[in-house]
Amino acid sequence: MGKKPKSSRKGKKAWRANISTDDIDEFIEKSTKDALTGGSLAEVPNESLFFVDKSKDLSVKRKIEKHREKVLHCDSVLQRNPFVKAIPSSNDKKKSSMKNKKNKKDSTEASTSKDDATKDGESGIVDLWENEAEGDIRTRKVVKTSVIPAVEVDPPGCSYNPNFEAHQDSLAKAVAEEMQKVYQSELGPQPVPLTVQGDAIEEEEMYFLEVDNGDDEANEENEDAPEKSSSMKKMVTKVEFNRRARLKDRQKKESEAKKKAEISKEIDSLPTIIDEIAKEDEEKQKRMMRRLVAKQERLKQQPPRLGRHKFVPAPTQVLLSEEITGSLRKLKACCTLATDRFKSLEKRGLIPPSANKRRRKYNFAYELRFLAGDKVLDLYFIDDGEAEEAAGVLIDVRVEDADGIFVHRMKAHYVIHKTMPTNLGPFSANNVSSYSGRGTAKASSETFGRDAHVSSSSPNDEAAAAMEEEAERKIGWLLKVIFAGTATAIGYQFFPYMDGRRMKIVELGGAQELLNMLEAAKDDRTRKAALEALAALTKSDKAAGALHKAGAIPIVQSTPSSVEEEAIDKYKTGLLKRFQDLKYDGSS
Amino acid sequence: MTKKDTAKKTVAKLKKNKHYRPAGKKREGNAARYMTRSQAIKQLQVNLSVFRKLCILKGVFPREPKKKVKGNNQTYYHVKDIAFIQHDPLLEKLREQRAYQKKIHKALAKKNEDLATRLRTREPSYTLDRLIRERYPKFVDALRDLDDCLSMVHLFAALPAVERLKINVERVHSCRRLSHEWQAYVARCHKLRKVFVSVKGIYYQAEVEGQKITWLAPHAMQQVLPDDVNFSVMLTFVEFYETLLGFVNFRLYHSISVKYPPILDPRLEALAAGLFYLYALTRYMNGNTKRISEEQESGSTKPEHTRGQLEGAQFEESELRLSQLQHQLPSNEDRALMHLIEEDDDNDDDEDTKKCKKLFKNMKFYLSREVPRESLLFVIPAFGGVVSWEGDAAPFTEADQSITHQIVDRPSQGHMYLSREYIQPQWIYDCINFGVILEAHRYLVGRVPPPHLSPFVDNEAEGYFPDYAETIKRFEAAAKNEVLPMPGVGKDDLDDPQLLLAEGYLSRTEAIEVAERKKERATSEKQYLEDLKQEVQGHPDATASIAVEGAQVEEESSRPHLEQVAEDTDGTALMMMSRRNRGLFKAMKIAKDKKKAKVEKLKQRKKQIAEST
């Protein structure tokens, strides 16, 4: 495009003033006026002027107001005004043409891709492995991270209707796992106490303490220093010097001779040294092998340490003996398969194990307390749902609210004995996950037995409970020592209010084992321990029955009483009394 | 070493080290080979959640270096793995998505609703096809890794849609659809092998293209979403697995000449959202192939009428439905091809498949309301049975006289038909696992059925047979004998369960034991002959016992020798092995010993129980 030849700028023709702009001015004036005043109604689109009123029952005004959106003034200013026409841009044409081109290109692309998709099925799925033989795609050797299979099939004991032996096996494993946890919490190192008893030290004294310490150290140093310096300063006479030199010489010779003798001795004993080295090597080899084997075994069970947290396996899903019904309809199945899959991912090392976060937030914290008069025997923290369930049975439900603490005293007539809950019915150990370990709450969630026992209302019930606890701690140790390692043995642990567990111990053959132990015991301590365990077991009526069947009474009767251990007698009489209470005659 | 060599080496070193290495960065060792997660995130310039997602999608997993340079509390990744992620276009795509999300956020913050909606319509998305092809270069690879995929998809099919955890309805539905499609394929091709109902869920095992695929499906009950599960991680896995299963299903469906995204007739489709999707699918698959064969025979253009007449009134309705599908079927030529393929397919079925196909043949099942319907609707057709249920769209009603078995799980039954057996669902699973039709009287209504044994335990390898397995084995042997009575040794073997047991056990052990068995058999034969002789002679038992003793002595004298030989060979082999292999061998031995001890324990316990009762 050539430029226009420049014409002369001289002359009136070129004057801008001569061009009339009246019509333009008029138009601008009119449009601005329109814009400011709202303009002539003829130009406004119909929709903005009228609307169809469909409302019938509500007053029109209210409805309009309800539907009218509030628009801020600043927004309304920025909103598009229908009276102001957009000013055409100078390079509009160029842009639009480019856009068109692009659009066309896009559309063609889209259509071709669509064609591809529609060629083979509507969804756009194609056979990925159509030409797998060619191997054209860049692939990467997939590193198998773990030897653990993706889906581990449960052992046969976890069947919904298991074989008896297999079920016992799985049950024992599950109990062992559970007990392991208990042991870890009970026998593990005690946490550092948050508070320590003792008198507070006043601030002034604290200063003194520090100063005293500092002084002592400084004094010691001062005492040491002058001695050293004095010895350094001491002069050595010539005689002394010579004597020392001689002594040194002699010592040197002696040591050399000694060394020589030793070497010759060693040379003589060369074969034994070689043997020793060989033995050492062998030992090393063995150790290596052991380590290797152990690692292989370990990798079959759990992933390597991949992060901050340790992998914690999911508990075994197995039915309790009383839950086996043989009917699929009544099956109490596991409903947290998501956990299982997640644990599997962790176990195979696909994701680093995460922390065990089992904390939930509650608006309400209920305290569930078992009272004996004013004294709190036991205390749990539960959430509202559980509190509701428990409300029918409990003595006291203390509600902590934003407003304060107030106590509900509910249905006291349900309580037979003052100290113990009679029947916690719907409670189960899993339910009480909300238990939080604040200072006074000492029990773990396991102590919520499924069916709490109705214990005799003797006045020293408290003492009995305490004793039981003591016994379980001791017995746990003892039995662990005696039957160390076997899975069934870990099943002996005694907790108050746990009939189910007591029965399980009996089921696993624990009672028989204890009786055998009592019979064969040689020293008093073992006897005492066995008696203690039996006493703990007989707290459950069922377990006591089982013990009776196993022939406990004659064995207990025949136990010799001893002078040193008074407890033996006490337990003996207690046991026999218990059996009498339950109408198991000593004679039978 | 000459001077020249060293010079060469230095040159090589210089050449090799062409990249810039920042000061302080290690050249070799664990410090150079591994990096911590935070380092990786910094290098990739993404946030943690995106990094997690990338790792899962690309199949990059943390490793455990021998020496943890940055401490024990860190998660380590291999440098090359991170580089592998860095070079993937997916990284750029995810970054783009993030930037786009920011735009939407901004629009929303400025209360610009229409901009936000406009932006939302054009969100950038990504596909995982390439990644799947990359991670599973061959179809077999994909099949090998399908266990986890199937379990996850089956799980998510049963989860409730929860907005808080971002489990949306579409995901759950697509998982359900995919799982049913897979089940339909397995059922149609009779690939299912084992089923085990455990407390956790139901384990299935299928054999597809020679690969054993095991998966775990949840029980039909409300699933709980626990707190300690990171669902964002699970959802990423599911996203990948969904795509994978889609492609696998596509391939499998095409291998049996069925169109992949299956098109179902609209009436069933409405029900398909629920339980009957599977049923609709199986019918779709069967119908597709059946119709084609019909057409070939009659040569008419409207086969549904002829078929309708042939099949009787019962199937008319379904045929009508199928006729709706007609337009969606491939052209004539294709059909002929498909027919051929179908015939071929029938021929090259392996032995197991043929067996599975015939197990429930000529049996008609009816499911009561209370039995696990979804599982049984999958399992029964997989073994050649015909099944119906109580409810909508059922193919036949309870009153149908041709029903042979009704599956119930309630204490008492109202009206009982004499022509059919009323059994518990466990019967189906046990029949499948043992591969025979068991006696139904043990599984009758109201009875406690015999224990449900796990088919995944190899009794022969374990060396311990539960009671019920033994009885079934005997039953099986008896059944076999009836069908094909074998003369001579074979029959003898089958008659004696003890011998059979021994045989089973020995099939797994080494050659020495085979020799042992031969010896045993020889002695027993001898003993038998002698017994016969004595019987003929009219001697009392005393001599027989002496003879037995003699045989035993002989046997014992021969056994140590054999064991000695075995030990010797073991020793030499041990010497030949590498250290690592030797370790593995020892581990194996230890495991074997453990197993033996366990079997012993079980036996002892059983004896104790027997004594006490």
Nearest to B89 by CA among B58, B121, B133, B135: B58
State the Cα–Cα distance between residues A568 and A575, nearest whole angstrom: 10
Q: Is B88 on the interface with A (CB under 8 A)?
A: no
Backbone angles phi, psi at B122, to 5 degrees: -120, 35
Q: How far apart are CA B605 and CA B613, in angstroms?
A: 12
Please choose, from the candidates B602, B386, B155, B28, the residue with its C-alpha nearest in 3D space to the C-alpha of residue A344: B155
pLDDT tens digit sequence for A5-25 = 666 667 766 666 677 888 999
Q: Closest CB to A163: pick one of B259, B260, B466.
A: B466
CA atoms within 13 A on the CB side of A52: 1
Residues in B 177-196 with any Cβ partner in A closer than 8 A:
196
Inter-residue contact B453 to B468 (CB < 8 Å) = yes
* Phi, psi torsion values for B65, nearest 5 degrees: -70, 155
Measured between CA atoms, how close is A173 to chain B, in angstroms?
13
Q: Is the pLDDT of residue A448 over 60?
A: no
Residues of A in Cβ contact (< 8 Å) with B260: 121, 123, 125
Query: In this structure, are residues B62 and B233 in contact, taking their beta carbons and an 8 Å threshold?
Result: no
Quick one: pLDDT at residue A180?
87
pLDDT for B336:
35
Contact A339 B426 (CB under 8 A): no
Give the Cα separation of B425 and B520 in Å (integer): 43
For A72, the closest chain B residue by CA position comes to B111
Q: What is the structure's pLDDT at B156?
A: 95
The answer to whether the beta carbons of residues A380 and A433 sit under 8 Å apart is no
The confidence score (pLDDT) of residue B311 equals 37
CB B74 to CB A318 under 8 A? no
Residue B402 pLDDT exceeds 50:
yes
Q: Is the pLDDT assigned to residue B389 strictly greater than 70?
A: yes
Average pLDDT of span A416-436: 32
Answer whether A429's CB lies under 8 Å from A448's CB: yes
Contact B134 A339 (CB under 8 A): no
A304 in contact with chain B, both atoms CB, cutoff 8 A: yes
Among residues A299, A356, A315, the alpha carbon closest in space to that of A149 is found at A299
Chain B residues lying within 8 Å of A329, measured CB to CB: 370-371, 409-410
Calculate mean pLDDT across residues A387-403.
46
Task: State the pTM of this model.
Answer: 0.58
Task: Tell me how far apart the alpha carbons of residues A107 and A101 are, in angstroms, rounded to a whole number.
Answer: 10
Interface test mutation site (partner B, options A335, A344, A488, max chain B beta carbons within 10 A) = A335
Higher pLDDT, A49 or B476: A49
A342, B230: Cβ pair inside 8 Å? Answer: yes
Interface subset of A 193-252, CB within 8 angstroms of B: none
Most confident of A123-127, B310-314, B604-608: B604-608
pLDDT of res. B350: 73
Instruction: Among A129, A163, A333, select the one facing B453 at the smallest CB separation.
Output: A163
CA distances from B295 to B188, B260, B286, B323, B564 (A): 20, 22, 14, 13, 70
pLDDT digits (tens, 9 = 90+) for B553-591: 444 444 455 556 556 666 677 777 777 788 888 888 888
Answer yes or no: is pLDDT of B42 > 90.
yes
Nearest CB neighbour to A297, from listed B155, B587, B602: B587
Which residue type does B53 have?
K
Contact between chains at A293 and B583 (C-beta distance less than 8 A): yes
> Which chain B positions have a beta carbon within 8 Å of A121's beta carbon?
250, 259-261
pLDDT of residue A426: 35
Question: Quick one: pLDDT at residue A124?
Answer: 66
- A160 chain-B contacts, CB cut-off 8 A: 197-199, 452
Predicted confidence (pLDDT) at residue B215 exceeds the cutoff of 70:
yes
Report yes or no: B308 at the A interface, CB cutoff 8 Å.
no
- Residues B423 and B441: their CA atoms lie apart, in Å, by 8
Distance of CA B394 to the CA centre of its chain: 28
Among A316-320, A447-451, A511-515, the range scoring the smallest mean pLDDT is: A447-451
Q: Quick check: B325 and B263 in contact, CB under 8 A?
A: yes
* Residue B559 to chain A, least CA–CA distance (Å): 31
Please judge whether B75 and A163 are an interchain contact, meaning their C-beta atoms are less than 8 angstroms apart: no
Of residues A425 and A543, more confidence is placed in A543
The answer, yes or no, to whether residue A343 has pLDDT greater than 90, is yes
Q: Which of B228, B464, B594, B605 to mutate to test the interface with A (most CBs of A within 10 A)?
A: B228
Cα end-to-end distance, chain A, whole Å:
128
Q: Both tokens of residue A239?
A: 């005689």
Distance from CA of A306 to the nearest CA of B (A): 5
Looking at residue B349, its pLDDT comes to 63
Strand partners, A405: A400
- The minimum CA-CA distance between A319 and chain B, rounded to whole Å, is 7
The alpha carbon torsion through B49, B55, B56, B59 (nearest 10 deg) reads: 180
Of the candidates B73, B69, B242, B84, the residue with the CA atom closest to the CA atom of residue B148? B242
A334 chain-B contacts, CB cut-off 8 A: 199-201, 219
DSSP letters of A452-479?
Answer: -------TTHHHHHHHHHHHHHHHHHHH
CA distance A363 to chain B (A): 18
Residue A76 has pLDDT above 60, yes or no: yes
Question: Do A73 and A81 contact (CB within 8 A), yes or no?
Answer: no
B466 interfaces chain A, CB cutoff of 8 Å: yes
B70 touches chain A (CB under 8 A): no
